Amino acid sequence: MSKEIVCLKNVYVYFNKLPVLENINLSIKENDFLAIIGPNGGGKTTLLKVILGLIKPDKGEVKIFGKNPKEGRKLIGYLPQYTIFDPGFPASVFDVVVMGRYKGMFKGYSKKDKEEALDALKTMGMLEFKDRQIGKLSGGQLQRVFIARAIARKPKLLLLDEPTASIDPEMQKSFYELLSKLKEKMAICLVTHDIGVVSVYVEEIACLNRRLFYHGPKEAGLKKLEDVYQCPIELIAHGVPHRVLRKHK
């Protein structure tokens, strides 16, 4: 049986006394490929931050690789939803990716660190841009570089918060195919609004709207989507969907 790497039990998070996550039970195992979907403000980013140990739950238990989240974090690669950076910053694409191997202040990068950074760039199809100044990339290319940084540390779990937000539909397809390959080496949990596309590639879908509505095989999961979004959803699970959301009432 595959090992459980994320285990959340009865997790609650409150902001200003209002519940943002309520009674969350989540289990992610080695080589799982899970998508978390749900409306804006549903708590998706908060949930990822709980897994990373950046937010401490008010109630409940979090175990990452059997340890507390701060220790488990070393084995996680993370792509935040928003990355704030100065486009004029004098760093190359390579400099940004090798930062994914950061071990602490005054600890330089070894030959292996540099090799792994180049390998991650190659995986993301960005090797030819390695010497380009980071501000001189398109939004989609930049996103690939940030994902390369997340995988450069060879994580056992990859958390991606809306990775396809600035990727065009053609690139999205190759992006998900790439994730399907990465999945052989690590578990992947991604947050997305691309319900239609994601349903073709991922194995499990969890719907989060304060509560985690579902966690299991996607066919059954899709039926529950309407409850979460509270509006009708039309999905064609094979190939690209023609239409995802029907008009709200």
Ligand X SMILES: Nc1ncnc2c1ncn2[C@@H]1O[C@H](COP(=O)(O)OP(=O)(O)OP(=O)(O)O)[C@@H](O)[C@H]1O
**Using CB under 5 A as the criterion, which residues of the chain lie in contact with Mg ion when the complex forms?**
44-45, 81
Q: Which is nearer to Mg ion, 45 or 164 (CB)?
A: 45
185 contact partners, CB below 8 Å, separation of at least 6: 154
Rounded-to-10 torsion of CA 32, 164, 149, 70: -50
> What part of residues 1-30 is at the interface with ligand X (CB under 6 A)?
15-16, 20
Which of 32, 34, 45, 202 lies at the binding interface for ligand X (CB under 6 A)? 45
Q: Which is nearer to ligand X, 46 or 164 (CB)?
A: 46
Q: Can you give the three-state secondary structure of the chain, one letter per residue?
A: CCCEEEEEEEEEEEECCEEEEEEEEEEEECCCEEEEECCCCCCHHHHHHHHHCCCCCCEEEEEECCECHHHHHHHEEEECCCCCCCCCCCCEHHHHHHHHHCCCCCCCCCHHHHHHHHHHHHHCCCHHHCCCECCCCCHHHHHHHHHHHHHCCCCCEEEEECCCCCCCHHHHHHHHHHHHHHCCCCEEEEECCCHHHHHHHCCEEEEEECEECCCEEHHHHHHCHHHHHCCCECCCCCCCCCCCECCCC
Does 43 bind ligand X (CB under 6 A)? Our answer is yes
Q: How far apart are CA 113 and CA 101, in angstroms?
A: 6
Q: How far apart are CA 123 and CA 116, in angstroms?
A: 10
Partner whose footprint covers residue 69, from ligand X, Mg ion, none (CB < 5 to 8 Å by kind): none
Which segment (1-9, 40-48, 96-104, 123-131) binds ligand X by CB under 6 A? 40-48
Partner whose footprint covers residue 20, from Mg ion, ligand X, none (CB < 5 to 8 Å by kind): ligand X
Partner whose footprint covers residue 46, from Mg ion, ligand X, none (CB < 5 to 8 Å by kind): ligand X
> What part of residues 67-96 is at the interface with ligand X (CB under 6 A)?
81
Which segment (44-52, 91-99, 100-108, 174-182) binds ligand X by CB under 6 A? 44-52
Does 40 bind ligand X (CB under 6 A)? Our answer is yes
Does 41 bind ligand X (CB under 6 A)? Our answer is yes
Which segment (34-42, 68-76, 137-145, 223-231) binds ligand X by CB under 6 A? 34-42
Does 149 bind ligand X (CB under 6 A)? Our answer is no
Partner whose footprint covers residue 218, from ligand X, Mg ion, none (CB < 5 to 8 Å by kind): none
Closest distance between ligand X and the C-beta of residue 193, in Å?
A: 7
Partner whose footprint covers residue 130, from ligand X, Mg ion, none (CB < 5 to 8 Å by kind): none
Task: Name the site residues for ligand X (rule: CB under 6 A).
Answer: 15-16, 20, 38, 40-46, 81
